[in-house]
Chain A
Amino acid sequence: MKQGVAITGLGCLSGAGMNLAESMQSLFRNQRNPQPPQRFSTDHPVSYPVLELRDGLELPLDMCETIHARTSQLALAATLEALDDACWDVASLRGKRVGVCIGTTVGCALNCDDFYRAYKTDGDPGLATIERYLRSNPAALIARQLQLDGPNQTVVNACSSGTDAIGIAAAWLRAGVCDIAIAGGADELARVTYAGFSSLMITDTEPCKPFDLHRKGLNLGEGAGMLILESEAVRDGKKARGYLLGYGSACDAYHLTAPHPDGAGLKQALREAFAAAQVTPEQIAFVNAHGTGTPDNDRVESRVLHEVLPGVPFVSTKGYTGHTLGAAGAIEAVFTLACLQRGELPANIGFSTPDPELPATPLRENSRVEGDVALSESLAFGGNNAVLILAKGDG
C-alpha cells in the first residue's frame, strides 16, 4: 500500500445535512426527505421529488455580496467547512501555493432560461444573469475570493466531475504544482437539469431505490463536497482525516448516455486505481457505489462489483442526498472517509427487494466497517468512469 496524498479537511452539504456532522446523522438514522422542488416550478405534468438543502445557506457577509450563483455559494460553504476542519484560516493560505480543482455541471452552463425566455420574445433582457454566470466559474471564483495563487481547474466531466477533480488535484500535489489543494465538486438544482433528466425518463416519481428490483430512476439533489489535500512538507505532522491512495478513470467510448453493458470503462478505471494505490480488491473494506437508482446504471455497477470486488459490502448514499451530479463524487468521497473514520456504514436506503438480474446487493442495515481502505466510484454521461481509493486517517 502506498502512503498516498494526505487529506486534512472535509466539508459537505446536501439534502442530507448542512454540514458533514448533520449529514452523518441523517445517514446513520436512515432519514431522507425527498419532495417536489420548492425553488423553481415547471408545467411538467408529473412532479419528481428532489433533495434540496434543508436550510438557507449561511455564508460570511463579505462573501455574500460578491457571490450570487448558487453553485458557487455551495462550493464556498463546503470549502470553508473543509478549511476549518483542516485548521486553516483563509488569511494564512495567502503566500502559499494553493490549487483549486472543482467539478460541476450546472455551475458552468449558460442555462439562464429566464434571460433566454425574454430574449426569445424579442425583449432586450439585461445582462445581469450573464454577468453572474461570467463571475461564477466555481474554481476560478473560489481562487479569486480567497485570493489564492496557484492552478485552478473547473472540471466538467458530467456526473464523475467531483471524483475526477479530487484525482486531478492529487496529481498536482505529487508533481509539486501546488502544496495545498481545495478539491471537490458543487452543483445546484436547476430547472434545466430537472427538465433534462426527466426527458431522459430516468427520474423516479417516488424516493429513489438504488439497486432495488423496483427502481425507476434517480432523484436529483444539490450540494457540494470539498477536501483539503496537503503535501507532507506543508502538513508537517498534522493529523490526516485520510489519504488518497489511488485514482483511476477511463472512458467507455460506447454511447453518449448509456453505460457500456459490461462496464468496460468502469473495470479499467478500477484496475488503474488498484495499480496506483498498490492495493488488491481483498483489501477493500467497502465501496461507496454510484448507485443512482436508474435501471441501467445499477445493473452494470452491480455486475462489475460482483466480478471485481466479490463479497465486498457496498452502499449507495444517493438515497440520502439525491444525485448531486458534479458534486456527487466529492460528497461521496467525503462520506467514504467519514465512514472509515467512524468504523460504520449506513444502510443503502431505498433497497428492499433484490433484483434477480443483479448479482450483488447493497447493505440493508447500518453495519460495522472491517478494514482501513475503501473505494468510491462514479459513472457519468459520455461514458466517463472514475474511481478513488481512500484510506483511513491518523485516528
Chain B
Amino acid sequence: MDIKQKLKQVLIEELNLEDVTPEEIGDEEPLFGEGLGLDSLDAVELVVVVQKHFGVEIKDMEEGRPALQTISTLAAFIEAKQQG
C-alpha cells in the first residue's frame, strides 16, 4: 500500500475520525483548521502516529510544522526520511 493510503487509514483509526473515509481525505486538503479540522493536540498525536507506524521521528515542531500540512507533504517527509 502506498504511504498516502496507509497514512489516511491510520489517521482515521488513531484520531478516531469515524465520520470520514480514506477516500474523502484529499491529498492536498489541509489537515488542520478548515480542512480536516485537526488541532494542536492532534498535531502532537500525529508525531506519535508517524513514529509508531512508519518508524520516522519528528524531532520537534520546527521540523514537524512544514511536514504536517497535508497528506502529500507528510508522505513526502516520511519517504525522504525512510530513504535517508
Chain A residues in 8 Å Cβ range of B44: 199-201
User: Which of A1-9, A254-262, A342-350 lies at the interface with chain B?
Assistant: A254-262
Say yes or no: A216 contacts B60, CB within 8 Å: yes
Say yes or no: B39 contacts A201, CB within 8 Å: no
Whether, in the assembled complex, A60 has its beta carbon less than 8 Å from a beta carbon of chain B, the answer is no
Number of interface residues of B (CB under 8 A): 10
Size range of the chain A interface in the assembly: under 10
The interface bits of chain B over 42-74 (1 if a CB of A lies within 8 angstroms of the residue's CB, else 0) are 001001100000000100110010000000000
Bound-complex Cα distance A257 to B40 (A): 8
The interface bits of chain A over 180-207 (1 if a CB of B lies within 8 angstroms of the residue's CB, else 0) are 0000000000000000000111000000
Say yes or no: B57 contacts A45, CB within 8 Å: yes
Q: Is the interface of A mostly helix, strand, loop or mixed?
A: loop
**Quick one: given A201-B60, A201-B61, A216-B60, are A258 and B48 in contact (CB under 8 Å)?**
no
Bound-complex Cα distance A106 to B79 (A): 40
Bound-complex Cα distance A200 to B39 (A): 13
Say yes or no: A255 contacts B39, CB within 8 Å: yes
Q: Which residues from 256 to 282 on chain A have a C-beta closer than 8 Å to any C-beta of chain B?
A: 256-258
For residue B78, give the distance in angstroms from its CB to the closest CB of chain A. Answer: 18
Whether, in the assembled complex, B1 has its beta carbon less than 8 Å from a beta carbon of chain A, the answer is no
Chain A residues in 8 Å Cβ range of B47: 201
10 A-B pairs within 8 Å (CB atoms) are namely: A201-B60, A201-B61, A201-B64, A216-B60, A255-B39, A255-B40, A255-B41, A257-B41, A258-B39, A258-B40
New contact pairs (16) apart from A199-B44, A201-B61, A258-B39, CB-CB < 8 Å: A45-B57, A199-B48, A200-B44, A201-B44, A201-B47, A201-B60, A201-B64, A216-B60, A255-B39, A255-B40, A255-B41, A256-B41, A257-B40, A257-B41, A258-B40, A258-B41
Interface residues, chain A, with chain B CB atoms under 8 Å away = 45, 199-201, 216, 255-258
